[in-house]
Structure 1
């Protein structure tokens, strides 16, 4: 599902990160991260809920506020990214969601005021073998002069965030699988 183009996004390629395997736009740093996070329906549903209700972001250490309890097209998202007290505002808007039965996730795009321009998709999927995978697909480039000064640190920070999200979802999926097994 996609939404009509939001007028407050600060990049023109809306939706370009939402299709796995699709080439990402030229002129941006690209990130493709895929990690196994669990196995089975309980792992998929727990991880999918954590992505859609923002728990993944919070578990990965991001301070996030939003005007929606759950990711939905059009929802405004405000993240505070950085280390310790050194944080920058990162306003985004959800542009796409997937809500089951075998894939859950969303994409958000940067809005005016963000230190970068681009888009990021977070997706949890279960394959035919019941393996559950987490994928981050993103393209971005610095917008502000101080973000450009950071050079390769921004793509490195984005990769670190993808790894932290995968670890958080692995913990959530593992707990759900253990809980489902105990309930049998």
Structure 2
């Protein structure tokens, strides 16, 4: 799977305006205060803490997100859960923004990209958690799910941010 192509042509599009032809998602929440918290939570995002905290993380070939890292999450519940392979497209490590985006690979039930970030708003000293995504169904069962699948994605994005907000100081 290291050389598998992404399942969508718009690789890297979470960097700017999201492309047409997909369902779009952005969930943004204030999750902490202070630059130290921004740095700590940025480290947590890069170490897949959001996925681990939800219990969907299965594997990654690097301990922290790096461009090209292979990541597998498990979507669904119990025996209905399925592996969903992804590859890290890019990593953000800026003065006020940290995180990574991964894109779907063959076998993932969706086709698209998801960006997980924390942003630090210096004037207000507020740290925001943000999940941005564009996707469309890639399997018959996700097409069948329709609006329920989109609701599940929005719910998961909110849960990612709640998990990040609860990240203990000694989370590693």
Q: TM-score, normalised by structure 2?
A: 0.91
Q: 1:9 aligns with which of 1, 6, 15?
A: 6
Distance (whole Å) between structure 2 residues aligned to residue 7 and residue 60 of structure 1: 26
Provide, for residues 100-151 of structure 1, a one-character-per-residue CA deviation record: whole Å limited to 9, x for no partner.
4321100000011111100000110101221000111100000111211111
Aligned counterpart, 1:122? 116
Q: 1:150 aligns with which of 145, 149, 163?
A: 145
Contact 1:44–1:132 under 8 Å retained in 2: yes
Aligned counterpart, 2:65? 71
Provide, for residues 20-64 of structure 1, a one-character-per-residue CA deviation record: whole Å limited to 9, x for no partner.
xx2x11111110110000000221122111110012211122132
The reply on whether 1:42 has 2:39 as its aligned counterpart is no
Distance (whole Å) between structure 1 residues aligned to residue 20 and residue 95 of structure 2: 32
**Unaligned segments of structure 2, at least 5 residues:** none
The reply on whether 1:62 has 2:59 as its aligned counterpart is no
Provide, for residues 136-183 of structure 1, a one-character-per-residue CA deviation record: whole Å limited to 9, x for no partner.
1100000111211111122111111111111111112xx44xx9xxxx
After superposing on structure 2, the runs of 4+ consecutive aligned residues of structure 1 that deviate more than 3 Å are none
The reply on whether 1:89 has 2:86 as its aligned counterpart is no
Once the two structures are TM-superposed, the CA of residue 7 in structure 1 deviates from its matched residue by: 5.4
Contact 2:116–2:131 under 8 Å retained in 1: yes
Aligned counterpart, 1:30? 24
Contact 1:18–1:96 under 8 Å retained in 2: no
What's the RMSD between the two structures over aligned residues? 1.6
Report how many residues are paired: 167
Max radius of gyration: which structure?
A: 1
